[in-house]
Amino acid sequence: MKVCALTGSHNYFEDFTVGDVLKHARGKTVEPLEQVWITNVTMNTAEGHFNEHLMSSSPWGKRLGFGGVTISMCIGLAAEDTAENALMELGLDKIRLKAPVFHGDTLYCYSEVLETKDGPRPDGGIVRFRHYGVNQDDKHVFEGERTVLIKRRTHWGDK
């Protein structure tokens, strides 16, 4: 696996090469307030996310992070490199939550370029990524594919 860095936060379609794996610069610690708030806002009533007493006697011994937050944080961590020049989100597929995330864990994200192809409009091309997230112990916690229509430098970039 070839891990590489892109040239900045404004990556165009032409900057993505099939097989490249991007290690995104930032990590994010999962705050209990974020987890509980989003769990409540989305009306997820699973007590495993907000009842510490109940979860203290579970196999995990503590509250679990809500998978929707894990997915959002990993996609968000990838956004600086993969979405700054997005014209349109085309799909999210093959989502897998590989291991539990707990309040206080720190997530890091990688993106592998799976495919690049011409888009339906001349000012953009389609890129399909496999995003995956790991926690502070390098344990694989998330995986998913995302397809994006991204601006072409030839139409949108500095000339």
Q: Of 24, 20, 5, nearest to 114 (Cα)?
A: 20
Residue type, 8: G
| Residue 158 CB partners (closer than 8 Å, separation 6+) | none
Tally the residues of the chain: 159
Q: Of 100, 103, 94, 85, nearest to 131 (Cα)?
A: 94
Q: What is the average pLDDT across 123-137? A: 97
pLDDT at 1: 52
How many Å apart are CA 43 and CA 90, to the nearest integer?
A: 26
How many Å apart are CA 141 and CA 127, to the nearest integer?
A: 23
Q: Name residue, tokens 């990838």.
A: 78
The answer to whether the beta carbons of residues 105 and 45 sit under 8 Å apart is no
Assess whether pLDDT exceeds 60 at residue 17. yes
pLDDT tens for each residue of 49-107: 888 999 999 999 999 999 999 999 999 999 999 999 999 999 999 999 999 999 999 99
Lowest mean pLDDT among 30-39, 100-109, 124-133: 30-39
The answer to whether the beta carbons of residues 38 and 66 sit under 8 Å apart is yes
Mention the CATH class of domain 2-156: alpha beta
Entry pTM: 0.86
